[in-house]
A = this chain, B = another copy of it.
Amino acid sequence: MLQLHFSPTKPLFSPPNLRIRAIDAAQLKSEHHRSSSPLKIAVLGFGNFGQFLSKTLIRHGHDLITHSHSDHSSAASSIGARFFHNPHDLCEQHPDVVLLSTSILSAESVLRSFPFQRLRRSTLFVDVLSVKEFPKTLFLNHLPEEFDILCTHPMFGPESGKHSWSDLPFVYDKVRIGEGERCDKFLKVFENEGCRMVEMSCEEHDKHSAGSQFVTHTMGRVLEKFGVESSPINTQGYETLLDLVDNTSSDSFELYYGLFMYNQNALEHLERLDMAFDSIKKDLFGRLHQLYRKQMFGGAEVHSVKKKIEQRLLNSAETTPLA
């Protein structure tokens, strides 16, 4: 049921030039036509990331139509896409694929108010959100049963994918695919761009990405708050931290909050980071405490540091037990 949802008794909603005459002939003809004929792709949420993906989809010959709450009509026309202010108008265009490229936080409300009934009964829904279990559940709960579902995460953006998508990971889960060629043709765009195609369940994705993507964003944001600055004597390691902050701060807080809130594993990782940081502090202060008690520091050189740290130890002792 999950893999093949349409049966011979259901009508096949293929474009007019692909009307079936006889099964075998039609299959051959269909394969030939589909690999050369473009997809009509509707992009919902046409922000930074949606526009970034659309450019490449258009370059691969596909027909792009878009809709957003904000007016992105000029951005659309500048890359050769059509913009629809009214989602009903968009649906009446009968796209083959609807690509959900909203923020994680607004995905549910966009989907709840979307006029599915105007679409063809078999349409492929794809999302590109940075969490995967959440949109999968959302699609399964809200989409009509006849719709196909492909959950994807292109793990790059306008910065990291500026020059090339070669070797950048593209994660996908064929959650419910009946009409396989339409889905394959969509995936082909990323394959042909050289992405590292990783087929993985939404659950597995979220486990991995909480440990990597969420932790990376957290470190970048901590360093941004800390206020890292370039100095005349940057080490190579420090240069990589500066790059990290640059990359993180170009993403919105909305995205970061989405990664935290809509990935069940993020909270646990935040807590583990917290514990790791505490543990480092305890290593430093604990070691010092030991030495200090043994009166090993007699020299005048470290006197002022000693004083500061002594104060710190007294403060810490009130809240945290020392190792």
Distance of A107 from chain B, by nearest CB (Å): 10
C-alpha gap A48/B209 in the complex (Å): 37
- A244: contacting residue among B134, B231, B237, B302, CB under 8 A: B237
Binary contact track A132-158/B, C-beta < 8 Å → 1, others 0: 001001100100000000000101100
Residue tally, chain A, CB below 8 Å to B: 78
Contacting pair B238 A241 (CB below 8 A)? no
Contacting pair B216 A134 (CB below 8 A)? no
A270 within 8 A of B: yes
A261 within 8 A of B: yes
C-alpha gap A288/B262 in the complex (Å): 12
Please name the residue on chain B nearest to A242 by beta carbon. Answer: B212
Contacting pair B171 A222 (CB below 8 A)? no
Binary contact track A259-278/B, C-beta < 8 Å → 1, others 0: 01110100100111111110
A17 within 8 A of B: no
Contacting pair A273 B232 (CB below 8 A)? no
Task: Report chain B residues within 8 Å CB of A209.
Answer: 231, 233
A114 within 8 A of B: no
- A212: contacting residue among B234, B273, B284, B288, CB under 8 A: B234
Contacting pair A309 B267 (CB below 8 A)? yes
- A225: contacting residue among B216, B217, B276, CB under 8 A: B276
A200 within 8 A of B: yes
A205 within 8 A of B: yes
A194 within 8 A of B: no
Distance of A247 from chain B, by nearest CB (Å): 5
Number of copies: 2
A248 within 8 A of B: yes
A87 within 8 A of B: no
- A226: contacting residue among B168, B200, B215, CB under 8 A: B215
* 22 CB < 8 A contacts A-B: A168-B236, A169-B235, A200-B232, A208-B233, A209-B231, A211-B229, A212-B231, A215-B226, A215-B238, A216-B241, A218-B280, A219-B223, A220-B237, A222-B276, A225-B276, A225-B280, A237-B247, A241-B244, A253-B283, A262-B302, A271-B312, A274-B277
- Chain A residues in the interface with B (C-beta under 8 A): 108, 134, 137-138, 141, 153, 155-156, 160, 168-169, 171, 198, 200, 205, 208-209, 211-213, 215-223, 225-229, 231-238, 240-241, 243-244, 247-248, 253, 257, 260-262, 264, 267, 270-277, 279-281, 283-284, 287-288, 299, 301-302, 304-305, 308-309, 312
With A212-B233, A212-B235, A240-B240 known, 5 other A-B pairs at CB within 8 A are: A155-B235, A215-B241, A227-B276, A261-B288, A271-B312
